[in-house]
Structure 1
Amino acid sequence: MAVGNIYLIAAIAIIGGGLFGFDISSMSAIISGTPYRCYFNQGSLNPDGSCPGPNSSVQGGITASMAGGSWLGALISGFVTDILGRKKAIMIGAVIWCVGCILVSASQDIAMLIVGRIVNGLCVGICSAQVPVYISELAPPRLRGRLVGAQQWAITWGILIMFYISYGCSFIHGTAAFRVPWGLQAIPAIILFFGMMPLPESPRWLARKDRWEECKDVLVLVLGKGDPHSKLVEDEFAEIQAYCEFERRNADVTYLELLKPHMINRTHIGVFTQIWSQLTGMNVMMYYITYVFTMAELKGNNLLVSSSIQYVINVCMTIPALLWVDRWGRRPTLLVGAALMMTWLFANAGILATYGSPAPKGGVDGIPEASWQVSGSASKAVIACSYLFVASFAPTWGPVSWIYPPELYPLRIRGKAVALSTSANWAFNFALGYFVPPAFENIKWKTYILFGVFCIAMFIHVFFMFPETAGKHLEEVEDMFTDPSGPKHIGKLAWKTHVGEHSARKEELLEKMRQSSHAEERPEHVDQTVAKEV
């Protein structure tokens, strides 16, 4: 029997997001551990007999390999989801993750570890692209932001849970200290695979495949709570029906469609939403937080426990966005987040530049990436600003970067468009994962300046180019981008859009669609007029 509770559907689907979180914190907790550094060591021992581990470039490559696989997985997901459906695409991702976990936990050398992480990345790319699409196509508009944003909350929980698992395993002697946590990562994927089985398919994908009875059944199950005469069901079904009939007159979409004049604006917005979410500098605070805190003179258990506090902050501070992001809107949330993160990044850079000094040759505690050191009150300020940065990212760019892209595109290209946007996330995740260790080693505290400048750029970009999509039907967003009163191919000016705008014309169109959907024979001119305007 199919599950119809939208909260339960979302709770199961977002486990796909949690897989990415598991990967982030497993690397963060493990890369500073002696078993990992000695097993994958590439250089001679430090003077104190400790192992330096992989060199900074290789460690960057190990970390970034997962994102490289995710980039490819996100692009592939556009084809998989259009052919097999959103639900099956997510289930395929879960299987791929289990294969990757086997390879990673059994790694005999760096090459095998990288291959396993690339396989894991294929899953993360598929799930991170298609889980938001799946949820957004099932959820009612008033809950869409909350439910899609829950993917980010799942990521934060994955980070937190896996960090403490890795921390506990750090007391194990030998390679089991990293093999056990990497192997345990397969458990949530198994839960995801079997949990997806009783969930319904996306009604919009079913409609796209002309499976109208199944589409209506899903809407009745999820939105109508079993009532086939629910007004919400009728409205949604009429909108989907009219829109699909309009799209049927268009050829099947390819990725090149996203670059055409009528689509390029929203394509660039979706892509840059994901790019900016990476350029906030959150990678510095997640993958490599142990390097940052090592520079602040934290060691041993204090280092790992202090690092874990930011993961707790990440979980807790995501909750406000889930509760109120549909009320706040997407634009204000992104703007406030960019301004706050810029503040803490520049603060950290200023503290390190003013009160810090170069570390001894070989880095603090033999970690080359910890090439700068700060002590006393200044070190506490660095830690505090790091926590405040995470507290600023968690309720803003964290969830909204997943919520926003699926809302931008019409049905026929949504799968591929979100896949392209998500692939941009993973391309920059790969680049930053590779870049940050050498950056800490070579440009030191100036790394924070770089990300602070990016935050300024994203604030300006969002203000002038990102329209508000909160509270609107997915089909209704099309009007906003093709508004004849706005500039050609741009629609309404971004700063003139607001949460849940509604028009009398919209009600008129909905009524026409409801009437035409119940008619035995609908005049062609009604279909064309309604579909084009909706």
Structure 2
Amino acid sequence: MYQIGNIYIITAIAVIGGGLFGFDISSMSAIIGTNQYKCYFNQGPHGPDLDGDADCSGPRADVQGGITASMPGGSFIGALVSGYLSDKLGRKTSIQIGCIIWVVGSIIVCASQNIGMLIAGRFINGFSVGICSAQVPVYVSELAPPSKRGRVVGAQQWAITWGILIMFYISFGCNYIDGTAAFRIPWGIQMLPAIGLFIGLLFLPESPRWLAKHDKWEECHSVLTLVHGKGDPNAPFVAMEMSEIKRMIEFERNNANVSYMELFKPKMLNRLHIGIFTQVWSQLTGMNVMMYYITYVFGMAGLSDNSNLIASSIQYVINVGMTIFALVFIDRWGRRAPLVIGALLMATWMYANAGLMASYGSPAPPGGVDNVPEESWVITGAPSKAVIACTYLFVASYAPTWGPVSWIYPPELFPLRVRGKAVALTTSSNWIFNFALSYFVPPAFVNIQWKVYIIFGVFCTAMAIHTFFLFPETSGKTLEDVEEMFLSGVPAWKTRVEWQNTRKAEAGDLNDKEKALHEHSPERVEDAKHA
């Protein structure tokens, strides 16, 4: 069968797996505020009216939190099992299994007759997202030329933003349909990308590293020739890659007793804490909460019906556009600066929204307004426009910083022998916090109202301080440099690229082999030396 060798086309197909997460976010955020949805799954005193004429209350706040949180709950489990699945069956096959699971979950969600069935379907969808979100970055990073690795891994976040945008507009258009078709159609359509991904993966090669690990050396060489040699099996870089993969595999087999417990040893524990907190903080920014419940937020700001949905869609466009800057400049910016600056900017907009809501807002009137329960909070007039502006600025601050860096940074922290296990663990921490926050926010808007913004503002402030003092710079360094950097105890704020250059100037030039390897990949230098 014909196989694609261009890494950008491979990435464009593979990251559809990340886009599935985006489809789920916006299909829920655009639908939870519609009368069709609220009347069909109504638990309040109003409705039901399947034609959408009644002003139904919809699910209770805590139940809506459970519906939304069921997806990241399933993703947590999926991420945990994805490493085992991928090691046994292959990167590509595990993603294809995720596609099948996604289709099954989407069918159940689309056919939901009650809240329990909806939660079950979303949990299954989440299981698929957990597999794909953990294995797509591993797959593309093991295929990509090292000089493009950061860019292709960052493309996962961009795919998520596109998934959010596309599915939101589909859901928005279906809002004009009467009856349950208004939400069943978008929930059914969301299975199509997974079908396309499954078919597209048939034309993509397997990870050469996985093939080598299973002693499929001829296939490994063929993949390297296809992707890196442009059809020439004798290309110098292909020979170099084969040599280094063999040494890496030999090293791993000689250290086959590596287990999860090694991550908790003193020399590795600090890195594990940084990797986990990178993913945890990315959730505690409040960004995914904004994505899931943006219609609630803008409802509090006085927007209703279509004006709410249109205003919400603008934030998704901003998310897509601003992520491009990270794809282009992330290797130039490094990792620390985007994390610290992004956190400070997001804290600013969160505190601004809290101040506006506290100063100019008031409790929602009896019966609530639009998407806002009666126990919640509303703000009108010019201050409400300021709240919307601050929300847009928050998204614009997140998109080029914590969004892509939270996926790129953790794999750079760990040596090869534990990287797979470490990334699986850090990714699962992302999903468990996503689950907790998805469940927490709807009742929080009811119980503590505008103070929700203060909570996330404090989180953003804490993460700025944490990243400044404890998160080192890994961009521009070989993995060997990262290893030495952690062992030397150099303060995080002094770990700029200049530190690497100074160390190399003191140690002398690299030998000829290291120079050749370094031109293609900083990672290959570490692989060769460990081997």
Task: Report if TM-score (shorter chain) is over 0.5.
Answer: yes
Change over 3 Å in CA distance of 1:461–1:241 after alignment to 2: farther
CA displacement 1:101-158 (0-9 Å, x = unmatched): 0000000100000000000001100000111111122222322121111111111111
Measure the CA separation in 1 of the matches of 2:484 and 2:56: 59
Change over 3 Å in CA distance of 1:63–1:215 after alignment to 2: same
Match of 2:208 in 1: 203
How far is the alpha carbon of 1:479 from its aligned partner?
4.0
Measure the CA separation in 2 of the matches of 1:493 and 1:279: 25
Question: Of 104, 111, 125, which aligns to 1:106?
Answer: 111
Match of 2:482 in 1: 480
How far is the alpha carbon of 1:506 from its aligned partner?
8.1
Measure the CA separation in 1 of the matches of 2:439 and 2:239: 50
Measure the CA separation in 2 of the matches of 1:506 and 1:130: 37
Match of 2:218 in 1: 213
Does structure 2 retain, via aligned residues, the 8 Å contact 1:409–1:478?
no
1:164 paired to 2:155: no
Change over 3 Å in CA distance of 1:237–1:41 after alignment to 2: same
Change over 3 Å in CA distance of 1:244–1:265 after alignment to 2: farther
Question: Of 251, 258, 270, which aligns to 2:256?
Answer: 251
Match of 2:523 in 1: none
Letter in 2 for 1:348: N
1:60 paired to 2:49: no
CA displacement 1:450-498 (0-9 Å, x = unmatched): 11111111112222222223345xxx314412458603xxxx5433333
Q: How does 1:404-483 map to 2 (within 5 A)?
A: 404-472=409-477, 476-483=478-485
Measure the CA separation in 1 of the matches of 2:416 and 2:244: 11
The SS at the match of 1:173 is coil
Question: Of 279, 287, 295, which aligns to 1:290?
Answer: 295
1:497 paired to 2:495: yes
The SS at the match of 2:488 is coil
Pick which of 29-38 and 252-261 moved more: 252-261
CA displacement 1:237-260 (0-9 Å, x = unmatched): 443333332222112443333222
1:508 paired to 2:511: yes
Does structure 2 retain, via aligned residues, the 8 Å contact 1:296–1:373?
yes
Letter in 2 for 1:213: E
Measure the CA separation in 2 of the matches of 1:531 and 1:291: 53
Does structure 1 retain, via aligned residues, the 8 Å contact 2:72–2:434?
yes
Question: Of 356, 376, 381, which aligns to 2:361?
Answer: 356
Measure the CA separation in 2 of the matches of 1:262 and 1:485: 7
State the number of aligned residues.
Answer: 513
CA RMSD of aligned residues (A): 2.4
Does structure 1 retain, via aligned residues, the 8 Å contact 2:304–2:371?
no
The SS at the match of 1:262 is helix
Match of 2:134 in 1: 129
How far is the alpha carbon of 1:38 from its aligned partner?
0.7
Match of 1:222 in 2: 227
Letter in 2 for 1:481: E
CA displacement 1:176-230 (0-9 Å, x = unmatched): 1101100000000001111111211222222333333333332232223233444
Measure the CA separation in 2 of the matches of 1:493 and 1:507: 25
1:87 paired to 2:92: yes
Change over 3 Å in CA distance of 1:272–1:28 after alignment to 2: same
CA displacement 1:250-273 (0-9 Å, x = unmatched): 124433332222322222222111
Match of 1:6 in 2: 7
Change over 3 Å in CA distance of 1:370–1:395 after alignment to 2: farther
Does structure 2 retain, via aligned residues, the 8 Å contact 1:141–1:471?
no
Change over 3 Å in CA distance of 1:117–1:97 after alignment to 2: same
Pick which of 339-348 and 415-424 moved more: 415-424
Measure the CA separation in 1 of the matches of 2:378 and 2:128: 38
How far is the alpha carbon of 1:278 from its aligned partner?
0.4
Does structure 2 retain, via aligned residues, the 8 Å contact 1:274–1:401?
yes
Does structure 2 retain, via aligned residues, the 8 Å contact 1:142–1:471?
no
Letter in 2 for 1:303: N
Measure the CA separation in 2 of the matches of 1:105 and 1:49: 22
Change over 3 Å in CA distance of 1:363–1:417 after alignment to 2: same
Q: What percent of counterpart residues are identical? A: 67
Match of 2:305 in 1: 300
CA displacement 1:1-31 (0-9 Å, x = unmatched): 2211110111011000110000000100100
Question: Of 260, 283, 287, which aligns to 1:278?
Answer: 283
Change over 3 Å in CA distance of 1:46–1:174 after alignment to 2: closer
The SS at the match of 1:365 is coil
